[in-house]
Amino acid sequence: MRLKLYVTGVVQGVGFRPFVYRLATELGLKGYVLNSETGVVIEVEGEKERLEEFLKRLQSEKPPASQIFSIDKKFLEEVGYSGFEIRKSEKKGEVKVAVLPDLSTCKECLSELFDPENRRYRYPFINCTNCGPRFTIILSLPYDRPNTTMKDFEMCEKCREEYENPLDRRFHAQPNACPVCGPHVWLVNGEGETVAERDKALKVLVEWLKEGKILAVKGLGGFHLICDATNEEAVAELRRRKRRQEKPFAVMFKDLEQVREFAEVSPLEEIALTSVESPIVILKQKEGNNLAPSVSPDTKTVGAFLPYMPLHHIILRGFGKPIVATSCNVTDEPIMFKNSEVKNVLGNLVDGALLHNREIARRCDDSVVKVMGGRVVPFRRSRGYAPLPVLLPFKLKRPVLALGPHMKVTVALGKGNRVYISQHIGDIDNLKAEEFFKETVKDLLNLFEIEPEVVVSDYHLGYFTTKFGREVFGERLIQVYHHHAHTISVMAENEVPLDKKVIAFSFDGTGYGTDGKIWGSEVLIAGYTEFERALHLKYFPLPGGDRAVKEPYRVAVSLLKAVGEKPEDYLKVEPEKLSFVSQMVDKGINSPLTSSMGRLFDGVSALLGIRYTVNYHAQGAILLEEISSTSKETGSYPFKMESGEIDWRETLLAVLSDIKKGAPLSDVGMKFHNTVVKMVLESARILREKTGIDTVALSGGVFQNKILTEKCLRELPSKGFKVLVHQVVPPNDGGLSLGQAVYGGLI
């Protein structure tokens, strides 16, 4: 395989390239290292394990004077380098990265933090040029202290000396501070009274955690809700108060060793956990661990992450046990980031709050990744990544702003060969989310001072983002189809050349199609600026539209009726409900047609009795995947390909017959997964024959399914296909703005 890395940070003129050369040569890897305008580009080829070792040692053994701010990593196909070389840079000049993401606490700061002799002992805001807040404190550019939320803190003499000394680790560290001159924390109770300040506050907070209290803690990009992750009563109470029934909570662990006590950690997962971006990594729980069952009531996974700011380190060391650390918000609203917002929820949502007076310039949620197919796939690209640009292999013709779709929204701003992607905004389903979206658009335009010539939205006229685009940008607005945008995203991050086309599988829950129907299993022959819809799942009615997304038994009813079966024979749902939904399908009342792969997964999940209704997005499909993953089944079900349609009716009949025979759910589930893989293989084969294209691109939320993605990554290459998957932006709608931006910049 080939590993391609874009490294930003202080990596030029500090012996970084010779270090890379030595490391690569020692590991027997081939490729090159090159200085670029944003840092260093590295390509190495060799065995997968060696590449992972390279990635790990690149970070742990880097030259002392160098600093890594981010590493964009992609595993790609080999191109066959003959040796390793330091290439001549195309351009000279200073490395310029306009706005950096927030960086997790570095080793040096961490050891000072717990050194009783150090003047910053247990100071929750310790930082240096290698670590600390960036994106979340910047008010405007250039990045200088007066343009950050640190502007009101005057540095003391000692801090100023460090700041002005070129030999000091804190030379020009804009958020530099100490207990004498910098921000501080305080703790308030449920009545809003301050009970302790500074270090005392941190000690009382730990006592409160031990008592099972639920607390808000102001962090880097917003507030977390925290409590003891091993205390079932506390976690269950948090669910009740947050009105979040089953969606797993993220858990912060003291250190890597502690994560290992609770979950399985592969080498690549370790790299992800300990990376400077410090995302939440979705791991498999170990049997018999003592996490409270309510942390993730319906799955055996855990979203694990490590402390990424000094404040977290102090809390986790003091408490000793893992804590639940989930975004502090009221149902579906954006994460809270102001002290005043949290005052409103004291005494009801939380028993107390740890506040501080370093203002957060903008909200930024934690990022989420999952390792699959030997790659780190982002599920949410936010804190630690935003607002770093995605680098394109070509230049856009014009500056462009992309507004995203409706769910998991990010916005993007493109110019030249860069696309800056915002932090995660989320689903735009309420006024506060709309405000956050509007603020983020404004913010991005201000920060990068790019005036877009075109603005891109989805085709769905019901989306707030589309309406906003029309109202605000009028004539400048152009639209791109949802599944084409997914495809462009995965093409762009995989550096597909401008003139090339791919066979794209764009599988997700919902997207507006050219025929006005709800698409979601689109097989496209696509380039960056045009596509042809070659194949899709046979349409089926979606009784109740969006209601069917929350109540997948409705999908099951629709599927059953399509094959002439009686819903009541398979679904243990109240007869009145079943006949009501049946009638909707029969009479075509509020039952739009869809070709959604996500819904097909939901429907099968319901038929297997896994979920009739869901209480978080894609829950039915996620649980179907988890149950199936225990099966070793290699068989699959039949399906037909006819006149541009993948007909799933034979698949369904075979599923039903297995259910009637009493086959284990896991086996039926795995056979269903295998069938979808077969659908991909067969579609790709047919289309290669027709077009000669042998590159397959996989995008859309359905490819967050690990079984499906890994099997496609194994089987397509064995049939001679090149496979492109996401490693830079999410396969889900969070990655859509990249595709929209590239489209608008090229059309």
Nearest to 729 by CA among 369, 276, 305: 369
CB contact set of 578 (below 8 Å; sequence gap of 6+): 557, 567, 568, 571
Distance, CA of 256 to CA of 274 (rounded, Å): 8
User: Which is closer to Zn ion, CB of 180 or CB of 589?
Assistant: 180
Nearer of residues 169 and 424 to Fe ion, judged by Cβ = 424
Which partner from the list Fe ion, Zn ion, none does 159 bind, CB cut-off 5 to 8 Å by kind? Answer: Zn ion
Bridge partners, 506 (sequence order): 522, 699
From the list 433, 398, 426, the residue with the least C-alpha distance to 410 is: 426
Q: Which listed option, Zn ion, Fe ion, none, makes contact with residue 555 (CB within 5 to 8 Å by class)? A: none
Q: Give the distance from CA 650 to its chain's centroid.
A: 35
Which lies closer to Fe ion via its Cβ, residue 185 or residue 524? 524
Q: In whole angstroms, how close is the CB of 584 to Fe ion at the nearest point?
A: 25
Among 269, 366, 493, 733, binds Fe ion (CB under 5 A): 733
Residue 610 contact, options Fe ion, Zn ion, none, Cβ 5-8 Å cut-off depending on partner type = none
* Residue 733: contacted member of Zn ion, Fe ion, none (CB under 5 to 8 Å, by partner type): Fe ion
CB 274, min distance to Zn ion, A: 15
Partner in contact with 130, chosen from Zn ion, Fe ion, none, beta carbon below 5 to 8 Å by kind: Zn ion
In terms of CB distance, is 373 or 739 closer to Fe ion? 739
Choose among 491, 535, 538: nearest CA to 687.
535
| 280-284 contacts, C-beta under 8 A, 24 or more apart | 280/250, 280/304, 280/305, 280/366, 280/367, 280/368, 280/369, 281/305, 281/368, 281/369, 281/370, 281/371, 282/368, 282/369, 282/370, 282/379, 283/259
Nearest CB to Zn ion, comparing residues 130 and 591: 130
Length reported for the chain:
747
Binding partner at 131 among Fe ion, Zn ion, none, C-beta below 5 to 8 Å by kind: Zn ion
Contacts of 326 (CB under 8 A, 6+ apart): 224, 225, 238, 242, 249, 250
- CB of 252 within 8 A of CB of 323? yes
Least spacing, CB of residue 486 vs Fe ion, in Å: 6
529: how many CB neighbours lie within 10 A of its CB? 14
Burial 16-45 (b: 16+ CB within 10 A, else e): bbebbeebbeebebbbbbbbbbbbbbbbbb
Cβ 253 to Zn ion shortest distance, Å: 21
- For Fe ion, the binding residue among 508, 602, 633, 658 (CB under 5 A) is 508
CA–CA dist 304, 85 (Å, integer):
38
- Give which of Fe ion, Zn ion, none residue 178 binds (C-beta under 5 to 8 Å, depending on kind): Zn ion
Regarding beta strands 540-541 and 645-647, do their DSSP bridges make them parallel or antiparallel, or are they unpaired?
unpaired
Give every CB contact of residue 646 below 8 A, 6+ residues apart in sequence.
521, 523, 535, 536, 537, 538, 639, 640, 679, 683
Sign of torsion, CA 120 125 127 131?
A: positive
Instruction: Choose among Zn ion, Fe ion, none what residue 508 binds, the Cβ cut-off being 5 to 8 Å by kind.
Output: Fe ion
Q: Which does 562 bind (CB under 5 to 8 A by kind): Fe ion, Zn ion, none?
A: none
Contacted by 180, from Fe ion, Zn ion, none: CB < 5 to 8 Å by type:
Zn ion
Q: Judge whether 460 and 485 are in contact, CB under 8 Å.
A: no
Burial of 653 per CB tally in 10 Å (0-12, 13-18, 19+): middle
Minimum separation from the CB atom of position 368 to Fe ion (A)? 17
Residue 128 binding target from Zn ion, Fe ion, none, CB below 5 to 8 Å by type: Zn ion
Closer to Fe ion at the Cβ: 102 or 733? 733
* DSSP secondary structure letter of residue 88: P
For Fe ion, the closer CB: 440 or 487? 487
Q: Looking at this protein, which amino acid is placed at residue 587?
A: K
1 contact choice in Fe ion, Zn ion, none (CB below 5 to 8 Å, kind-dependent): none
Taking the least distance from each CB to Fe ion, the nearer of 359 and 625 is 625
For residues 141 and 128, the answer to whether their CB atoms sit within 8 Å is no
Indicate the residue among 312 and 726 with the shorter CB distance to Zn ion.
Answer: 312
Contacting range for Fe ion; rule: CB under 5 A; set: 310-318, 326-334, 408-416, 507-515: 507-515
Measured from the CB of residue 370, what is the shortest distance to Fe ion in angstroms?
Answer: 17
How far apart are the C-alpha atoms of 461 and 32, rounded to whole Å? 47
Which CB sits closer to Fe ion, 127 or 732? 732
Q: Which residue is nearest to Fe ion (CB)?
A: 508
- By C-beta, is 131 or 729 nearer to Zn ion? 131
**Shortest distance, CB of residue 213 to Zn ion, whole angstroms?**
31
CB 422 within 8 A of CB 444: yes
CB of 128 or CB of 336, closer to Zn ion: 128
Least gap, CB of 156 to Zn ion (angstroms): 4
For Fe ion, what does the binding mask look like between residues 461 and 500, x meaning CB under 5 A?
A: ----------------------------------------
Query: What sign does the dihedral 699-703-704-709 (CA atoms) show?
Result: negative
Q: How far is the CB of 184 from Zn ion (least distance, A)?
A: 12
65 touches which of Zn ion, Fe ion, none (CB within 5 to 8 A by kind)? none
Task: Count other C-beta atoms under 10 Å from residue 409's C-beta.
Answer: 25
Judged by CB under 5 A, the number of residues near Fe ion is 2
Q: What is the binding site for Zn ion (CB under 5 A)?
A: 106, 109, 128, 130-131, 156, 159, 178, 180-181
When asked if residue 522 is in the footprint of Fe ion (CB under 5 A), the reply is no
Nearer to Zn ion, 105 or 683 (CB): 105
3 state SS for 495-544: CCCCCCCEEEEEEEEEEECCCCCEEEEEEEEECCCCEEEEEEECCEECCC
What's the min distance (Å) between Cβ of 733 and Fe ion? 4
> Could you tell me the smallest distance in angstroms from the CB atom of residue 31 to Zn ion?
30
Interface region with Fe ion, contact rule CB under 5 A, candidates 417-425, 504-512, 558-566, 591-599: 504-512
Query: Could you tell me the smallest distance in angstroms from the CB atom of residue 518 to Fe ion?
Result: 11
Minimum distance from residue 65 beta carbon to Zn ion (Å): 14
Structure tokens at 604: 């099968």
Residues that bind Fe ion (CB under 5 A): 508, 733
